[in-house]
Structure 1
Amino acid sequence: MSAGSAPSPAAAELHRRAYVADTHNDLLCAVVARPVDRWGSFFGERWVPQLRAGGVELQVLPVFIEDAYRPEGALRRTLRMLEAGRRAAAENADAVRLCLDGADLDAAAESGRIGLVLALEGAHGIGDDVELLETVHRLGVRVASLAHFGRGGFADGSGEDATGSRLTSAGVRAVAEMERLGMLFDVSHLGAAGVGHVLELASRPVIATHSSARALFDHHRNLSDEQLRGIAAGGGVVCANFYAPFLHASDFSVDRLVDHLEHLVSVAGIERVGIGPDFLKEVLAETTPPCCEATEVAGVAADEYLPGLEGPAGLPLLTDALLRRGWREGDILAVLGGNVRRLFRAELGVPSAGRTVGSAGTGAGAFVAPDE
């Protein structure tokens, strides 16, 4: 939280009552950059206090593979990061719990611990080997996106939108395999045609872990209203990205983030919106040598952040901004994490053969979630 900024007492009290779910924080990149014997202690010393300060009760931990490891080292890097996540959880078992399904999330919350969910961002370590989805599922992965900015074995990322590419044949099989296993399909970073293709194929809800509204800012990393409606109709959730250059060309403020959240709600509905902040400032500082500091991330400036929302500890400021904008308390609680918790409790780690909720297609109203 930036100096001199603090939420109002009412916002702070509401935030304390909230179940906060962050669906995208690349902190594993910073953890794995430390010596192996420091993975657990670094996570406990550096990140657990920040998550606690932000009220986070559910943290999705994506495995992102930097360019330097692609393609030859991508699988080894993926395995190393998954091991780092598992060790971080095991060595901080008093504070966090690695979660494989909704029951684990509930158990974490009941014991006052933060639930951690492993995810793949881009699936670079898999290539186009659909069978390896079951392998990473055994290692604890429960959420996955199959492309990043560029071209992959399953699909093209949003940086390749000009190609108009849909999923590859392997990507089509991957959607079915993820649904069979109970892994949530993440459409963030997927190219526009690929998102449409997934929504045609999906029989279970999908998630956008860190994407905002293209209608407000025309960046390829944001989602169109048509895509928002499609995700919502299938019972999924769209989680807003806080990364400033994806929200506005120059006005990097929490008010612009609230604009995006309000647009997502107006199009997708209050039950279909969450938050996926994509906090980058500290991760980049921890992983980029001073001699060659990155100034861009995928073509946008890497040194612009929302004041006070550079990391998890600032999350109460969002609650404050939503209250000032006139949001109802129940709606704030839903967007901060209630909606994601409901989705994860219903879908996470539940194989298709074992589902007890109604099947979800792309038709509105197809998804039936249990009460919280």
Structure 2
Amino acid sequence: MRLTFASFTALCLVTATSAAFAQTPEQVAEAALRSTPVWDGHNDVPEQLRERYDNMIADFDFADTTDTADPEKNKGAMHTDLARIAKGRLGAQFWSVYVSAGLTEQQAVQATLEQIDVMKRLIARYPDRLELATTADGAAKAMKAGRVASLLGMEGGHSIGSSLAVLRQMHALGVRYMTITHSKNTPWADSATDTPKHDGLTPFGKDVIREMNRLGMLIDLSHVSEKTMIDTLDLTSVPVIFSHSGARAVNGHARNVPDSVLARLKANGGIVMTVGFPDFLSERRRQWSANQAAEKARLEALWRGNPVAVESGMAAWNAANPEVKATVSDWADHIDHVRKVAGIDHIGIGGDYDGMPSGPVGAEDAAGNPALFTELARRGYTRTELEKISGGNIARVMRAAEAYAAAHRDDRPIENPSLF
């Protein structure tokens, strides 16, 4: 009886001790984000600087952008500033030097150069908080010093003007990924949201992929068609990224990644940096948005030349069909699915803040990462797994691209004829 009682007492002590040291989801998330701050794949602050301020930023205060709403331009307040970056446990950021896919290629080249310039100027204004980085080691160094490693990503292949020479010069200026297309096809690759024209990549498009490999520039397959994804995976020698995409099996939007491609990421080593854009997260919201657009088109066809009737009709429809909002839980559903199909080593975060009206409920702006990571911890993700998602996986991918470029530094650049 003494032995039994002693054993029981010891068991109670062990159980009590384990309970005392058990961590809440909030604590697991906080520990992971403290160890490995988020390395976000896509933020559109440069676009906001262009659209709101025409890149004239002498009076722009990045410390706090909560008062930047502009009703005349139908713009709400920006999502990103230094205060919310800190709350969001952001350690590294790919800033998107996006320009409109509606520009001619030559206009896009100039506009992209201007966006590189404005973002470099913004980074330089806050040397104690931001640091330009062009390598994974450089990013790690900046984060260790307490600064946000600031990398540049070029969104849309139209920005190189169908010129490998321009691609090389963009890399020389510090651009470390290029999204192969944006919303429209380029002359050499098909977009996910345009009528297919090339059946994926053209021969020149394949040269773009090869030259990006040689340079060590990450290939971003967000926005491209499924066939372009497949052509790229068939060709590339290094891991790819999706800088801001979701899983198509969870939300059927063409911008999301199909399972056929997710399954190939294991062999490729690539990563889906899961997006926070509500229309790409919640299938119910996607259907609501489509129905709203259809109703507007119907009313405009019925009441041509009568905008008051259209407005009245839409007000009635909106009252009868309240907005469906995506949530942090929806975001976590995409991460769950990518984990199921591709694995934990192939997930990252690509919020798309300042490139959408609002993030999902619970993570509306750049301060929202802790809420997402807490939800993942609540679902059973361990600290080690969260650290891979927050930054470990993308650092590995970037190092792989850099290693390939280093091994091929003596390869000759691929040439293409001048257009002029």
TM score, norm. by length of structure 2 = 0.73
Correspondence for 2:231:
197
How far off is 1:103 after superposition?
A: 2.0
Correspondence for 1:136:
170
Which of residues 345, 355, 359 in structure 1 aligns to 2:399? Answer: 345
How far off is 1:232 after superposition?
A: 3.0
- SS of alignment partner, residue 97 of structure 2: strand
What CA deviation, in whole Å up to 9, does each residue of 1:40-61 have, x standing for no partner?
A: 9534544222211111111001
Correspondence for 1:278:
352
Correspondence for 2:280:
246
Which of residues 243, 249, 253 in structure 2 aligns to 1:219? Answer: 253
Which of residues 62, 66, 84 in structure 2 aligns to 1:50? Answer: 84
How far off is 1:278 after superposition?
A: 0.9
Tell me the distance in 2 between the aligned counterparts of 1:43 and 1:200.
42
Q: Is residue 2:381 matched to residue 1:327?
A: yes
Q: Indicate if the aligned counterparts of 1:161 and 1:191 stay in contact, CA closer than 8 A.
A: no
Tell me the distance in 2 between the aligned counterparts of 1:86 and 1:50.
20
Tell me the distance in 1 between the aligned counterparts of 2:176 and 2:404.
10
- SS of alignment partner, residue 266 of structure 1: helix
Q: Which runs of 5+ in 1 are unaligned?
A: 1-6, 285-302, 356-372
Correspondence for 1:263:
337
Q: Which runs of 5+ in 2 are unaligned?
A: 1-24, 66-80, 286-324, 410-420
Tell me the distance in 2 between the aligned counterparts of 1:79 and 1:349.
27
Q: Indicate if the aligned counterparts of 1:39 and 1:84 stay in contact, CA closer than 8 A.
A: no
Tell me the distance in 2 between the aligned counterparts of 1:102 and 1:305.
27
Tell me the distance in 2 between the aligned counterparts of 1:243 and 1:353.
37
Q: Which amino acid aligns with 1:21?
A: W
- SS of alignment partner, residue 43 of structure 2: coil
Q: Map of 1:109-128 to 2, 5 A cutoff?
A: 109-128=143-162
Which of residues 70, 73, 80 in structure 1 aligns to 2:107? Answer: 73
TM score, norm. by length of structure 1 = 0.82
- SS of alignment partner, residue 210 of structure 1: strand
Report the number of matched residues.
329
Q: Which amino acid aligns with 1:150?
A: K
Q: Indicate if the aligned counterparts of 1:148 and 1:189 stay in contact, CA closer than 8 A.
A: yes
Tell me the distance in 2 between the aligned counterparts of 1:51 and 1:345.
24
How far off is 1:19 after superposition?
A: 2.2
Q: Which moved more, 1:148-157 or 1:53-62?
A: 148-157
What CA deviation, in whole Å up to 9, does each residue of 1:189-214 have, x standing for no partner?
A: 11111110000111111111111111
Go from structure 1 to structure 2 and tell me whether the alpha carbon gap of 1:203 and 1:350 turns closer, same or farther (over 3 Å shift). Answer: closer
Q: Indicate if the aligned counterparts of 2:219 and 2:241 stay in contact, CA closer than 8 A.
A: yes
Q: Map of 1:278-317 to 2, 5 A cutoff?
A: 278-280=352-354, 303=357, 305-317=359-371
How far off is 1:21 after superposition?
A: 0.9
Correspondence for 1:233:
267
Correspondence for 1:89:
123
Q: Which amino acid aligns with 1:263?
A: H
Go from structure 1 to structure 2 and tell me whether the alpha carbon gap of 1:258 and 1:97 turns closer, same or farther (over 3 Å shift). Answer: same
Go from structure 1 to structure 2 and tell me whether the alpha carbon gap of 1:144 and 1:26 turns closer, same or farther (over 3 Å shift). Answer: same
Q: Which moved more, 1:53-62 or 1:11-20?
A: 11-20
Tell me the distance in 2 between the aligned counterparts of 1:37 and 1:252.
34
Kindly name which structure, 1 or 2, has the bigger radius of gyration based on alpha carbons.
2
Q: Which amino acid aligns with 1:27?
A: V
How far off is 1:345 after superposition?
A: 3.3
Go from structure 1 to structure 2 and tell me whether the alpha carbon gap of 1:87 and 1:121 turns closer, same or farther (over 3 Å shift). Answer: same
What CA deviation, in whole Å up to 9, does each residue of 1:73-108 have, x standing for no partner?
A: 212211110001111122211111111112211210
Q: Which moved more, 1:36-45 or 1:141-150?
A: 36-45
Which of residues 181, 199, 207 in structure 2 aligns to 1:173? Answer: 207
Q: Indicate if the aligned counterparts of 1:51 and 1:313 stay in contact, CA closer than 8 A.
A: yes
Moved over 6 A (4+): none
Q: Which moved more, 1:190-199 or 1:86-95?
A: 86-95
Please tell me the root mean square deviation across aligned C-alpha atoms, in Å.
2.3
- SS of alignment partner, residue 58 of structure 1: strand
Correspondence for 1:146:
180
Correspondence for 1:362:
none
- SS of alignment partner, residue 190 of structure 1: coil
How far off is 1:153 after superposition?
A: 2.3
Q: Indicate if the aligned counterparts of 1:273 and 1:339 stay in contact, CA closer than 8 A.
A: yes
Q: Indicate if the aligned counterparts of 2:327 and 2:362 stay in contact, CA closer than 8 A.
A: no
